[in-house]
Structure 1
């Protein structure tokens, strides 16, 4: 029996419009630099809309609500981005690139597997967004000395593998949100995430080797 979907109340409609405007601004901002030569700072845009939630008659929060914010999640992501910055500033990223130079001499399929494994499990110690900014330049150095199509595939594998962040809460915001709910323990998340990581690496490597290679 089909149930009627309840209509949105005034507060829900207001929140719907705020989120819609925010999404529209972020999408438009990606094209603004190409069209007008400049773009808005996305961090300031997000911060502005966050503060908007405390404005009377517009937002939905009061200052007392800040006591319930999951500050441990904020610190968790701050640590992830700090680690990513340290990778670059200390030269560790370049050193890792040198240590991984052996990858360029192994068969293409196992190269995909090695890169996917490295990127996938690296996301468990730092934010996958920050990791991408580190990993892509590293593997770009390998791609430059490879045939163009194979180099492109290598970068595609590294980019997609950065999304396989299933094990720990530091890896990606959805994991952190789940952890903050206290419903799933980190041990359970890590156990299931490990299996998903291995499945993802296998599927990605096979698809890159059998399908993407034919399309490029």
Structure 2
């Protein structure tokens, strides 16, 4: 960890990094202002303890930051990194859950054994993004019995399955970038009522697990 004077020998050095942080927060859609400035003049000074995480020359994360309705401190990130765990789980505060997709996702989050024995629910609607501005929201995240993270895309109709393939691959790539988790620790799956056996086999060939749900489940949730 560098002291302030060592990290920023001149005012120009500090101003350049603060400008970079402003751009970073806009792309990543995370809040930095409350800890890096004031409501009127954001990004005007650094807090006493701040952690900037880069991969090569690319800034990947900044702590403390506001995400998922809570502040994540540098210590939170470092502790999670040592444990090889994501530094944020839980998802954003969600809108009123009235859509069929939302009701189904909520039911699976509350009853993970409907998908697979040994799953632990870790979060819903988890935001992921890249520095290019690409982003997305993971429907459901679980930890399986082998300590691998399971990303589940929820679909209401079998005809939506093909769309899930692209979403899962993009979300997995962004999840790895956002939370610094090894790709080998990720599993991908889609949950949908009434998936045909032929489709289950087709998805298995590309490394995606299918969780076929009872066709009438939507009538009971």
TM-score (norm 1): 0.26
Higher helix proportion? 1
Higher strand proportion? 2
Rg larger for: 1
Ranked by relative contact order (alpha carbons within 8 Å, sequence separation 6 or more), the top structure is 1
